[in-house]
Amino acid sequence: MSLSVHIVTPEREVWSGDATMVGARGIEGEVGILAGHAPLLVRLSIGVVRIQAADGPVRAVVDGGFLHVTSQEGVTRVDVLASHAELESEIDQEAARRRLEDAERHLQENDTETAKHEVAKALARTSLSG
């Protein structure tokens, strides 16, 4: 059995390839997918999607979305559908730190759900950018 993974946003396909494992954080907790997994639909939290690809690990940040698993004819397919996603290699470290500082300042001034989401997005990116 093989595992085919696709991370997509409305604008682009962020990453696709074969893998041995996919891990992500759903709104109800962590989920891990291996080849042969049963069909599944998970609502994703803001966070990191971890892929053990054939040529090494891949990590991407998603701003929520869905993880959809299907299996057909010996192929397990994982689609990560997100409004926004970035590969670890695409994240500008300095911009991520500035975004976090701005989001935390905004949260102190306006304790709203929107401000909390912006902090979560910024934290996810800085967790990958070192």
User: What are the structure tokens assigned to 87, written together?
Assistant: 């590969």
User: What are the structure tokens assigned to 92, written together?
Assistant: 């500008």
Hey, where are the domains in the chain? 2-88, 91-129
Give per-residue pLDDT as tens, 38-93. 999 999 999 999 999 989 999 999 999 999 999 988 899 999 999 999 999 998 88
Secondary-structure class of domain 2-88 per CATH: mainly beta
Cα–Cα distance list, 98 to 9, 92, 102, 104, 126 (Å): 24, 10, 6, 10, 10
- 51 close to 59: Cβ distance less than 8 angstroms: yes
- 78 close to 16: Cβ distance less than 8 angstroms: no
- pTM (predicted TM-score): 0.87
User: In whole numbers, what is the pLDDT of the chain averaged over residues?
Assistant: 92
